Structure 1
Amino acid sequence: MKNFSRIATLTTLTLLLAACNQATQVGNKPPQPVDVTVLGLNDFHGNLEPTTFTPIGAAAAIKAGGIEAIGGELADARAANKNTIFVGGGDLIGASPVTSSLLRDEPTVYALSELGMKASALGNHEFDQGLQELLRMQNGGCASNDANKACKFDPNYSGATFKWLGANVEYKANGANPFTPYYVETTADGARIGFIGAVTTETPTIVSPSGIAEINFLDEAESINKYVPVLKSMNVDAIVVLIHEGGTLGTNSPDTYATEGCKTLNTASPIYKIARKVDPSVVAIISGHTHTGYNCLVPDPNGKDRIVIQGEFYGHLLQRLDLTVDKANHRVVSAKAANLVVNYDQRAANNTLDFNMTQLLTTAKAKTDAVKNVFVTNLSVPQIRRGFNATKADDVRDVESALGDVIADAQVFATQDQGTQFALMNPGGIRGNLPGSPSTNGGARLTFGDVFAVQPFSNTMVVMDLTGAQVKAALELIATGANATANKVLQVSEGFSYTIDLRPGITGPRVSNVTFQGQPLGDTTTYRVAMNSFLADGGDAFTPFKQGTNRVLLPGLQDVDALVAYLKAKGSTLDGQIKNRITIIR
């Protein structure tokens, strides 16, 4: 392939798998080798247009991703190898920019279908709008829970031509699976590649619980292994797992997305633990969820190294597997992997963007630009940031953030008529900086598209009564239970403050010095609290919020509306600084 010279050296695993480890084998037939290319896309989040990305070793950032450049990469891969398969690692939709989200992500589904995607793991964000809406996204139709957005891109929305795979999803009532657990693709030269898909078991805690109340999410590895014998009985030539769960590289790891065969995947990462349990017959695991680029080797249950790869997010990278399979004896001969940089700038300069994708994007923009470009306010600072750490990495959730402070203040501002005293905001609901890229000319001009990119979930605002004890119980869950490793620090509005101890091994209460307007929060005192509907439903495992009384759901006020209103009123006075409302002990 002509793009190979510009990517990392491929990780190579010569497998020479025995018949018992790969597939049912009849005799020892003369080999019939077929070269197969698998390209994987994870955590795309409806980013139809390219976004900023800095490749390893590059002197400056580039534009990467976007459906036009992805289409160009696929065209090159298919020209080099007709046995090319395009698949996904989940979170293809959800938490999307305006151009996709205002059209209920239907343009993204159409784009990926037209690009020839065959199958994808389900991601947690596929469930953002609930199970029934996801089934509509798969199967088509206009019976949506948001009629203002559905079928506005195409009045006869026909659904995805690819299959979302969920081997570990089942109905509580009868154990049936609402989705397909696996998919088999037969390539042009007759190789049969089986894919098993799974989604993270933490999904119930990170999407609105009410939307998925009728389904269970089972153990990922056990569910995957359940279908390995099924695919073997079908005499597939290779089995690949697509899973929306991931990991991170170990502390101080020198490895990057471009490192071949890294051995520094954090052993505490969910994907590492899952990979150690997945049947040895699986040749490679395409992962997602953690928005981290890596190309690692993890021992399978027999102790043999196996590829586990993830391609960062937003389509900046495509995961590439190159398999040689023996279709006569149904086995893998060799496997190698790499992360491909999807360089939009280079393709635009070389005129190798996908024309059909340009047309689709133009149509989507025409339908959304009028809303996207509505002026909101002028900031006096270049940018207000969400959580980041000392390495300047964004989307850090165990810190207080300047943008978290602003959003919590906005929710109080927008719900004053409900008697709101303070507000709480989940950091995972803050999807970007404001604006996404800092202004280079001093203050930033904000449009609705900028604000929507920060809060794209369309969560409704809720105001409720909570006792001080209930608020404290929720704050304790920042560092315990389902959040014990994630430490999702709740952002708070002006006048509210607390201290939390995030050091490992702490027993007893982690939260202290909880005050409102300078006074200790009274355990039996009732407070009027605002939050989005995700938190109000107990999202992110903050279940005490479900106990709130005198709840008022404000269907005409979404969280993004609250932020817009606040920015219009206060935008020019915001300084972009963290307000030090939260004290964190590490």
Structure 2
Amino acid sequence: MKLNELACAVTLILAGGTACAGAGPATTVKIVAFNDFHGQLESPGSFGGKPAGGVDWIAGYVSKLKSENRYTTVVSAGDLIGATPLVSALFHDEPTIETMNMAGLEINAVGNHEFDEGKDELKRMQKGGCHPTDPNSCQGASVGAPTADDGSFAGADFKFLAANVVDTATGKPVFPPYVIKNYGGVRVAFIGMTLKETPTIVTPSGVSGLEFKDEADTVNALIPKLRRQRVEAIVVLIHQGGTQPVAQNATTMNQCAGNLDGTPIKPIVNQLDDAVDMVISGHTHQAYNCRIANREGREIPVTSANSIGRILTDIDLTIDRKTRDVTAVSATNILVDQTDATVTPDAGIKAVVDGYKLLAQPIANRVIGAITADITRTANAAGESALGDVIADAQLKATEASGFGDAVAAFMNPGGIRADLSYASGTAGEGDGHVTYGEAFTVQPFGNSVVTMTLTGAQIEILLEQQFTGCGADNAPAAFNYPAGDSGQAFDRILQVSKGFAYQWSASGSPCDKVDPASIRINGETVDPAANYRVTVNSFLADGGDKFYVLKLGTDRLGGAQDLDALEAWFNHPEADSDPAEPGVQIAPGPQDRIVRIP
């Protein structure tokens, strides 16, 4: 029997709620949740005007919260690793796993980025052992991290969960679907989920041989099995989320502006069995604290804790010990505030992070170039960013020469640009205007290679149309190459384009017809729909990533350098120099004038 079936006079799924009148003795279980950590071992900067984050500070907050309730469990809603800073990525994210072991993480619902290096590498993260080829692996013993008896990487002490990710060869989940925790006789099930769209946003090799099933259907199918194990309290951890149409700050982090309408998480919650008591979400890097109706119309809490360790969600479940039902849920997003004198950061964890930083320092602190001002990924009204221009130019230059691809244009997905380039000197002390390898790596951490292919002019137009919402399998011609049932982009995803490429798109244009073909130009010449053009994209896009399916039809493919190597080469190329009269190459922010949005 769930909350809406009890004879309660008031709704209790509110922060600060109280138990129903006449309810039996209760147990309160505390859940400390976060999501989209992305290996951010050090503070990423400020949030709400205060320095926030850092795995040592997260551990300090966890310790404080555990002192308030012995029944406390720490959980993550995915993307714990992948797209990580160099201090974690250089060592195949072993530092993140090791420090999260030390911080007390118990459960991680696998996100899409956990598959960046493929299923086998993800299983190594769980089980331990050294990377099969990279000598940078298994360095934990040298920095004081806990290791296996033989000194190798010990793997995660916490459980990876992925209920809806199935190995097609065996028909079984790649990781366990759930964990049942026992709190003094009260049992709570945690179901872990990965967004079903993962194959569209991860390099295909990373998800080869895997099937990603519908999230709600998977949860609902598990309910009878959990019931047979006398479980009434059920929490879903899902790496899928929503957005608030307001700025992300300390004021809005506990709001639910827009009620998550029109976002992917809402229809999933709307289909969940009434047995589910709350949903802890992620993926969208948002902070929100919502109540969304399930399929019976009962509103259940749906939370998310922003990203990269800046926020934790402090959740209290009140559970009737007799009925085993959840009778109240209180959830509050809290800032991981480094100025909080009541919290003590974990010194042992900091020592491990500092040790890894020291090992990575010779690589991270190497200066690779110079810039004239901040170069950011902030897009203008047309969707074009200054940093997107620079990266696309770098990839074009790396592939435009004969023998390297003969490219005439390059396209870059905005989601692959993970940080800005700051003019101010960083922690390496490299001096204002200088860019280190570590900073560039943070911008492009995926290790994609550049791929040059041949597209027709008509296919280039299709590529541009596939940027916009509303264009999908149900209304696009077959040439768009959408898989059956695919609805296209969940939000406008504007590709960044190289110099010499230009076009216009209409905000009021109908789906699949927003771009004027006559406006598409390469080096001033209108693109001929019947002609062939050599274009460059990264390997993620080349396989149809981010739902740019027409790129899978590109022919005469030629693989090239890694994207980061292309960027470093551009930093030292005379053509990139904004002021040849000054000594040394200095790159200015991109002009943001290649894409034009019209009404």
TM-score (norm 2): 0.85
Aligned pair partner of 2:562 in 558, 561, 577:
558
Provide, for residues 250-292 of structure 1, a one-character-per-residue CA deviation record: whole Å limited to 9, x for no partner.
47999954436x4632321111111111122211111001111
Matching of residue 217 in structure 1 with residue 217 in structure 2 = no
- Say which SS state the counterpart of residue 285 (structure 2) adopts: coil
Map of 2:532 onto structure 1: 526
Matching of residue 299 in structure 1 with residue 290 in structure 2 = no
- The CA distance in 2 between the partners of 1:457 and 1:253, in whole Å, is 26
Partners of 1:95 and 1:456 within 8 A in 2: yes
Structure 1 unmatched runs, 5+:
1-8, 18-27, 56-60, 391-397
Map of 2:521 onto structure 1: 515
Map of 2:30 onto structure 1: 37
**1:90 partner letter:** G
Superposed, 1:377-392 pairs within 5 Å as: 377-381=369-373, 383-388=374-379
- The CA distance in 2 between the partners of 1:161 and 1:45, in whole Å, is 18
Matching of residue 583 in structure 1 with residue 583 in structure 2 = no
Shift of 1:237: 5.0
Map of 1:51 onto structure 2: 44
**1:157 partner letter:** F
Map of 2:460 onto structure 1: 471
- Say which SS state the counterpart of residue 366 (structure 1) adopts: helix
Partners of 1:483 and 1:541 within 8 A in 2: yes
Matching of residue 425 in structure 1 with residue 415 in structure 2 = no
**2:134 partner letter:** A
Partners of 1:210 and 1:537 within 8 A in 2: no
- Do the aligned partners of residues 131 and 414 (structure 1) sit closer, same or farther apart at CA in structure 2, a change above 3 Å counting? same
Shift of 1:360: 1.6
Map of 1:535 onto structure 2: 541
Shift of 1:467: 2.1
- Do the aligned partners of residues 511 and 368 (structure 1) sit closer, same or farther apart at CA in structure 2, a change above 3 Å counting? farther
Partners of 2:454 and 2:534 within 8 A in 1: yes
Aligned pair partner of 2:177 in 156, 181, 189:
181
**1:446 partner letter:** V
Matching of residue 206 in structure 1 with residue 204 in structure 2 = no
Superposed, 1:473-512 pairs within 5 Å as: 473-479=462-468, 480-481=471-472, 482-503=487-508, 505-506=510-511, 508=513, 510-512=515-517
Partners of 1:487 and 1:502 within 8 A in 2: no
**1:369 partner letter:** Q
Partners of 1:43 and 1:89 within 8 A in 2: yes
Map of 1:393 onto structure 2: none
Partners of 2:113 and 2:202 within 8 A in 1: yes
Shift of 1:47: 0.1
**1:346 partner letter:** D
Partners of 2:448 and 2:540 within 8 A in 1: yes
Map of 1:130 onto structure 2: 118
**1:204 partner letter:** P
- The CA distance in 2 between the partners of 1:477 and 1:208, in whole Å, is 18
Map of 1:403 onto structure 2: 387
- The CA distance in 2 between the partners of 1:278 and 1:303, in whole Å, is 10
- The CA distance in 1 between the partners of 2:162 and 2:423, in whole Å, is 33
Shift of 1:346: 3.3
- Do the aligned partners of residues 365 and 511 (structure 1) sit closer, same or farther apart at CA in structure 2, a change above 3 Å counting? farther
Partners of 1:200 and 1:243 within 8 A in 2: yes
- The CA distance in 1 between the partners of 2:426 and 2:88, in whole Å, is 24
- Say which SS state the counterpart of residue 282 (structure 1) adopts: coil
Provide, for residues 184-215 of structure 1, a one-character-per-residue CA deviation record: whole Å limited to 9, x for no partner.
1223x343221011111211111112221211
Structure 2 unmatched runs, 5+:
1-12, 142-150, 473-486, 578-584
- Do the aligned partners of residues 360 and 143 (structure 1) sit closer, same or farther apart at CA in structure 2, a change above 3 Å counting? closer
Superposed, 1:122-271 pairs within 5 Å as: 122-144=110-132, 147=134, 149-153=136-140, 156-187=152-183, 189-250=184-245, 256-259=251-254, 262=256, 264-271=258-265
Partners of 2:246 and 2:257 within 8 A in 1: no
Matching of residue 341 in structure 1 with residue 325 in structure 2 = no
- The CA distance in 1 between the partners of 2:376 and 2:386, in whole Å, is 6
- The CA distance in 2 between the partners of 1:308 and 1:34, in whole Å, is 21
Identity, in percent, stands at 38
**1:408 partner letter:** A
Matching of residue 115 in structure 1 with residue 115 in structure 2 = no
Partners of 2:423 and 2:432 within 8 A in 1: no
- The CA distance in 2 between the partners of 1:374 and 1:584, in whole Å, is 39
Partners of 1:475 and 1:511 within 8 A in 2: no
- The CA distance in 2 between the partners of 1:233 and 1:177, in whole Å, is 20
Which runs of at least 4 in structure 1 moved beyond 6 Å after TM superposition? 251-255, 436-442
TM-score (norm 1): 0.87
Partners of 2:47 and 2:310 within 8 A in 1: no
- Do the aligned partners of residues 88 and 329 (structure 1) sit closer, same or farther apart at CA in structure 2, a change above 3 Å counting? same
- The CA distance in 2 between the partners of 1:439 and 1:362, in whole Å, is 16
- The CA distance in 2 between the partners of 1:162 and 1:169, in whole Å, is 18
- The CA distance in 2 between the partners of 1:465 and 1:287, in whole Å, is 40
Aligned pair partner of 1:449 in 432, 438, 454:
438
Partners of 2:542 and 2:552 within 8 A in 1: yes
- The CA distance in 2 between the partners of 1:485 and 1:511, in whole Å, is 22
Provide, for residues 365-399 of structure 1, a one-character-per-residue CA deviation record: whole Å limited to 9, x for no partner.
12211111111222121x10103468xxxxxxx71
Partners of 2:371 and 2:423 within 8 A in 1: no
- Say which SS state the counterpart of residue 534 (structure 1) adopts: helix
Partners of 1:502 and 1:510 within 8 A in 2: no
- Do the aligned partners of residues 82 and 109 (structure 1) sit closer, same or farther apart at CA in structure 2, a change above 3 Å counting? same
Give the RMSD, CA atoms, in angstroms: 2.8
